[in-house]
Amino acid sequence: MDAINSVRGLLKIEGTNTTPTIVLDAKQGIIEIRGRWTINMFSTPKNATEFLDPLLGWLDKYGSLLPNETKVIVHLECLEPSGNQSLLVIFKRLEYIFKNMAKVQIYWFYTDGDLNMLESGEDFAEIIRLPFNMISY
């Protein structure tokens, strides 16, 4: 099932050793990103563009549904600079889609004491015009 046809339901992109698991649940208004994000533009067998295309297509269609509220849960154990770029593309798409249309909350989970993940979340919070909730565990 492709991203566009599943926008009214659930789309799950299974994670690998270089990509996170992504669950897109239109009915619940939840987008969850969990795992490792170390894929880059030249990774094989799937590069960052191939990984992001279904997700971005889903987000475009989801945004056209004008949802009331969306929770974005980010729970990454590893985020490489190339992953930062990909995540920024997703956040920018959310920012554009939901500008003046819906309530969007980003919940950024990081392990207590993991300064790299904390700083990454803080960096995104400064760049993106969406509410960011930093949650240590």
pLDDT at 128: 93
Peptide linkage before 20 cis (omega within 30 of 0): no
Considering the domain delimited by 10-136, tell me its CATH architecture. 2-Layer Sandwich (3.30)
Residues 65-113: tens digit of each pLDDT: 777 889 999 999 999 887 888 899 999 989 887 775 678 899 999 999 9
Phi, psi of 45 (to 5 degrees): -80, -10
Residues 51-71: tens digit of each pLDDT: 888 888 898 888 877 778 899
- Of residues 52, 54, 65, the one with CA closest to residue 3: 54
- Of residues 7, 129, 23, the one with CA closest to residue 65: 7
Between CA 32 and CA 5 the distance in angstroms is 19
Could you tell me the two tokens for 94?
């959310």
Residues 123-132: tens digit of each pLDDT: 999 999 899 9
Between CA 118 and CA 120 the distance in angstroms is 5
Kindly list the domain boundaries of the chain, sorted by start residue: 10-136
Provide the percentage of residues in the chain whose pLDDT is more than 70.
Answer: 85
pLDDT at 1: 41
Residues 28-49: tens digit of each pLDDT: 999 999 999 887 655 555 667 7
Please state the rounded mean pLDDT for residues 110-122: 95
